[in-house]
Amino acid sequence: MDFLIVLDSQSNVPLHRQLYEEIRRAILSGRLMPGQRVPSTRAIAESLGISRATATLAYEFLLSEGYLQSTTGSGTYVTRHLPDATMRVDTKDGRRKTLIETGGLTKKSVKRLSKYGSYIKDRPWFAYGEDEPEIQFSFGRPDFDQFPMRQWMMLANQLAKKHDLSLLDCPSKSQGFLPLREAIAAHLSKSRAVNCTPQQIIVVNGSQQGIDLVTRVILDRGDQAGIEDPGYIGAKKAFEVQGAQLIGVPVDESGLVVEKLKDPAMANMKLLYVTPSHQSPTGVVMSLPRRLELLNWAQRSGTFIIEDDYDSEYRYAGRPVPALAGLDRSDSVIYIGTFSKVLFPALRLGYLVVPASLTEIFARAKFLADRHSSLLDQQILAEFIKQGHFERHIRRMRGLYQQRRQVIIASLKKHFGEGVEVLGENAGINILIRINWRIDDEAFLRVARDKGVGLVHTKPFYLNVTPPPHEFLLNYAGLTDEKIEMGIERLHAAAQETRNRGPIVPA
């Protein structure tokens, strides 16, 4: 081939995908002409220093999409009738080019994505919403069967019967329904030692929107954004698409290692995301000295901290540690709470607690994002909290999940014995396990799924820290004791079947 192919081995885009894109682009731009012969997969693999399988995969895509044709015995050629022919235009110099390649020439009709859009298009996405296996240990969801739906619907009916049509209008403030903000402020003061006014609260559509708004308000392209390593994928992605430079900060048994923040390479960190109540994914609870040390550092360095308190309601052992936001004296902490784990995730309601000086800015950012969260749902929720249903539900769920937590730990010990290490079991609704056998992780996940069991590998949570092999997340909240026992038994069988096949972890 008479053009240069450059592959980026550091990129998150798989090499076969990069090679496919390079060749496709060369064909569409006319650098590779219809009918032109292309090198064999062996030759291209050798010249680029990649495996033959990678080159073959890229060629298979190009062949199946019609960019290349192969004739037995005589090699592979650029096809004569290109699939993107409709995208090709005649340029002034008489050459045929694609709209993508013509730059300013046909600017009006060129549709290009922003860096944000391109990032979302090109980078690997996390598998979400695939068909569910029979026993799903995968997602941090609560037990839907236990949700007091009757109570909720009664409140909704009472509200509807009022025939107050002003309920259907947009509130002038995007910050959220005031009685709900008052109820949240009272709840936070009582259960998390966070003393804030309702004016500091912005009602949002779950933690993810909270993270997104903080990202937009605080970060510019190129800014340093710190994240626990391993850390929550939802936050990592939000920072990355904003063009931030991601900095991983390791975690030990006391939480985020604050000492590491003194590294000069982190001196310009603008925002740091942490999950102190139940570190995602390790489940570690950040110690009080570590919290104070972190706040001290934030004050001295002028860094904003996002405290994602996503499942702090579930704590089973040890004394509750006050939230960072309750200890903060320098307006460094932006607190995020969500109703996804305590009620149900499809409700899409959560909240930010922001320093008083930032309230109006966040309210405007929320307006620009989606004006405001559903007012009807906010009103039902406000009543639900005010009438005491919320607290009762949390207490009941805490008891139930504590019992299920004991069931899963006992079941793991029964089946795996010393073959498994359990972490993060004192809080939240997930546990993290490390299987001490030499298993092939990818095959293990596949075999488990064949047996009707889904679980999550922790590798995607890691940034620079090397992921330990055989580490998985198990959510047990939505499963009955019988399902938990059955699931662990099947996981044990899957581990036995894939034992000694090598320490391979999924890409």
Ligand X SMILES: Cc1ncc(COP(=O)(O)O)c(C=O)c1O
Positions that interact with ligand X (CB under 6 A): 140, 206-208, 232, 275, 280, 308, 310, 338, 340, 345, 350
Nearer to ligand X, 77 or 139 (CB): 139
Start-to-end Cα distance in the chain: 30
Nearer to ligand X, 207 or 224 (CB): 207
Q: Are strands 75-78 and 37-38 parallel, antiparallel or unpaired?
A: antiparallel
Nearer to ligand X, 425 or 440 (CB): 425
Task: Give min distance, CB of 496 to ligand X, in A.
Answer: 30
Q: What is each CA distance from 428 to 55, 106, 344, 412, 442, in whole angstroms?
A: 44, 54, 15, 18, 26
Q: Which residues lie across from 306 on neighbouring strands?
A: 273, 334
Task: Give min distance, CB of 7 to ligand X, in A.
Answer: 34
Whole-angstrom Cα distance, residue 397 to residue 145?
Answer: 11
Nearer to ligand X, 299 or 374 (CB): 374
Nearer to ligand X, 210 or 326 (CB): 210
Whole-angstrom Cα distance, residue 339 to residue 439?
Answer: 37
Dig out the tokens for 480 from the structure. Answer: 């009955």
Task: Give min distance, CB of 275 to ligand X, in A.
Answer: 5
Residue 217's identity, in one-letter code, is V
What are the backbone angles phi and psi of residue 252, rounded to the nearest 5°? -120, -160
Q: Which residue is nearest to ligand X (CB)?
A: 206
Q: Which residue has the tokens 């095959």?
A: 443
Task: Give min distance, CB of 346 to ligand X, in A.
Answer: 9
CB 342 within 8 A of CB 141: no
Residue 136's identity, in one-letter code, is Q
**Strand, helix or coil at 70?**
strand
Task: Give min distance, CB of 340 to ligand X, in A.
Answer: 3
- Which 8-state DSSP code applies to residue 264? G
Whole-angstrom Cα distance, residue 323 to residue 332?
Answer: 13
Task: Give min distance, CB of 116 to ligand X, in A.
Answer: 19
CB 434 within 8 A of CB 468: yes
Nearer to ligand X, 236 or 389 (CB): 236
Dig out the tokens for 189 from the structure. Answer: 């003061």
Nearer to ligand X, 58 or 183 (CB): 183
Nearer to ligand X, 58 or 204 (CB): 204
Nearer to ligand X, 139 or 316 (CB): 139
CB 288 within 8 A of CB 295: no
Task: Give min distance, CB of 311 to ligand X, in A.
Answer: 7
Task: Give min distance, CB of 227 to ligand X, in A.
Answer: 11
Whole-angstrom Cα distance, residue 444 to residue 447?
Answer: 5
Task: Give min distance, CB of 341 to ligand X, in A.
Answer: 7
**Strand, helix or coil at 355?**
coil
Determine how many CB atoms are found less than 10 A away from the CB of residue 156: 16
